[in-house]
Structure 1
Amino acid sequence: MEIVIAGGGIGGLATALSLHAAGFENLTVHEAAREIRPLGVGINLLPHAVRELTELGLADRLAAIGVATAELGYFDRYGSAIWSEPRGVDAGYLWPQYSVHRGRLQMMLLDAVIERLGPRSVVTGSRITGPGAEDLLIGADGIHSAIRARLFPGEGPPPWNGLVLWRGTTYGTPFLTGQSMIMIGDGTQKFVAYPIEAGERTLINWIAEKPFEGEAPDRGDWNRPADLAEVERHFADWRFDWLDVPRIIAGAEAAYEYPMVDRDPLPYWTEGNVTLLGDAAHAMYPIGSNGASQAIIDARVLAHSLAHGDLAAYEATRRPATTTLQLSNRRMGPEVVMRLAHERAPDGFDDIERVIPYAERAEIAASYKRTAGFDPASLNGSPSWSVVR
């Protein structure tokens, strides 16, 4: 069976590794860029995705490039804690959660593909726009997927929700536990930060977000340079005794600007010998740290389904789950607690229990884990997607 994978990003490379582990040998990854380089900023890999990479034999490599996230905290506009919870193994998972530089993760996967499948398994400078003579074409070519456009012509650019994101990395001192991921905001304007490289000088990944006036920047252009002075101006008074937001923004090593966009859920992913995966299938808002994680899970389920001769099982398993998650992210997912705190206590609060009772906060967090497929008990007890050969 000849398989072509369009796209050499995280989803495409994870697919190549998953298919190879399931016994498929005749496969090639085609990447439109002439060179795969470690671009981008930080991302999070949730325990369900870390499990899949672990089962692909990549646990040690992942641990070497990532920071194990120990805590997630939500704060209001004034720096007061709304909700915090342990993450990864500290939350009872059998696998960690990692914060990692997207480019370093991509290069780690690329190295593994070349080691296991050979250097000819990845072809750069090769843009695939439609099916050819292969038995299966997998469109893992991102939010601007040419393969998706072939299946759904006329869909147009990704829809924009009116918010702009600025993403950057800055060397600074550790905050809170040193392995904390934090989100500060009021449901409209938001700042996120977490370490992606540990040490005396921690590399902090950050995301700043607010409504944007005027025309949206290029939709889906992840490498458009940001104006740091403009970003800092919007967060000038976001200084807390545990984090100085303007200082982090001003000290950025690199920063990028793009509008918050996603894709509408599709009625199907597969047509003939073509199927979609990752952002090409279900691009979603960067809420709840799910983009890369869901692409990795797609890859594993697809390989398992093909190994059992049932391509339809892949879409039947993944499309309903990711559709629900896409729509949940449009409703802000677990980040809704920041909006609720602002609506109920716009001038701040002394006692969060009087604003959002514990039971309500706990259910918001637990509900999203169930929706995204990483409820601890369910994940720890779920069967493996590995194929026994």
Structure 2
Amino acid sequence: MRRRAIPLIAAAVALVAAALSAPAATADDAPAPVAPAVSDGGPDDRHRPRLYTPAANPDAYTQAFDLVRAGQYRDAAGILAMARTPQAVWFGDQSPAEVEREARQVVRDAEGDTVVFSLYNVPGRDCSGYSGGGANTTAEYKAWVDAVARGIGRSEAIVILETDSLALIPSDCGQDDAQGTKTAARYAEVNYAIDQLEPLRGTRVYLDTGHPGWHGPDSITPRLLKGGIAKATGFFTNVSNYNTDPANSWYGKLVSACIAYAGEGGDTRQCPHQSWPRAQADEWIAANVRTPSSGWKHFVTDSSRNGQGPWVPPPGKYTDPQDWCNPPNRGLGARPTLRTGDPLQDARLWIKIPGESDGLCLRGTPGPEDPERGMVDPKAGDWFREQALELVRLANPPILPGS
């Protein structure tokens, strides 16, 4: 859970607010009003569900404080507005007792708003890469999930169940034996989590599909089926990635259609790929999927950093460009909402915490610096000031009024 505010952070917020209310010396330096925290509902929407805004990374407030002291009022306001936007609460690595206590505190703080929980503790997560870790055994993971379920209780919650758990299974990264023991355990772990969380009164569980630049519906759907998608509300896409909202929505529709087709006995290898012309894909779906779209699985997407779309690395410059890893010149995406206008898309969310680093990006070079940035990137999960400023300045739509 995000760390609680400390006196320095409170002072930073007060100082930023004072600076924003002061007269501006010039038009270029004039501080803009801080955008209100996005709650997905206003005074006229009191009876509609709203998204919870958790306590932000304290380093965001420290950065805003430093920007005010430097006279960069608009940048400070942008960082503060970003921090005050509804985002996911990430759980991973806590003990069962800790995660139960912290989950219970979050839902108490939410006071009925919908909390987005991102669970990230499956054994062997991230193929032991930058965000490696997780529970040591399946038994440990089950005990941890049980504790999360007790903490959530009967509250309103969206559960993002284990990013990369299905798009990146142990057999993909050479960590499994010839019998596929670890991969089979992964599917069992995901199924167990669904069984414990989906039946909770206010909880909806979504499974991993990676993103549109990774798997096609033909390859991810069999993994979703083994992972227990039939028992879950749906799936998620683009967590910690940069694909555009249109690309994510189209991918979501294709995956949902492929799941329905497989449920009718169809061969998932025949499902349309996101690279197909849309008219051709729609024609295939109309001709082959008998289940009405009202019976298809739903999905949610991550728009926290996709305002400028994916980064295209310079051709031939890197042996491993790591286009997902702290790419330069990206921006915040559209604000979170539970009302997308798409009957299949339950929400657009900020799941990855914008401003937190993806890890030490070397792009196939010896390092230690990220060659695209000329600096050593912070380790995964640490606050990345330079990237945070990029996200605010290049936000699309703008994070501040008048931008």
* TM-score tier after normalising by the smaller chain length: under 0.3
Structure with the bigger RCO (C-alpha within 8 Å, sep 6+) is: 1
Structure having the larger proportion of residues in strand? 1
Q: TM-score, normalised by structure 1?
A: 0.26
